[in-house]
Amino acid sequence: MRKKPDKLILKNINKLFALAKKESKKRPRLSKRYIALARKIAKRSNISLKNYRRLFCHKCNAFFVPGKNCQIRISKGKVSIKCLGCKSYVRYVYKKKK
């Protein structure tokens, strides 16, 4: 059985993502560092980053700022995000809510 995530760890992760968002425009390197740290904590304590999964590049840890460091395209029910830093793609399917 999976353990309930520790509240303090979740709080720290939320804080790191908030900081990454704040610094993403002015200091992208610092924001990458925050995301790398948050991912490391989540990995170590077995917490999924489900709310944040699509907010950053999984390859270079860049926080996505639409129109600045990523390109978002929608076609045939799929969303594809291209990271302009490392040229990698993230694709996922979206469904309309009924």
Residues that bind Zn ion (CB under 5 A): 57, 59-60, 62, 83, 85-86
Nearer to Zn ion, 9 or 60 (CB): 60
Query: 3-class SS at 89?
Result: strand
- Cβ at position 42, least distance to Zn ion in Å: 18
Task: Starting at the earlier edge strand, list the strands of the sheet with 70-75.
Answer: 70-75, 78-83, 89-93
Nearer to Zn ion, 16 or 70 (CB): 70
Whole-angstrom distance between the N-terminal and C-terminal Cα of the chain?
32
- Cβ at position 57, least distance to Zn ion in Å: 3
Nearer to Zn ion, 45 or 88 (CB): 88
Find out whether 37 and 16 touch, Cβ atoms under 8 Å: yes
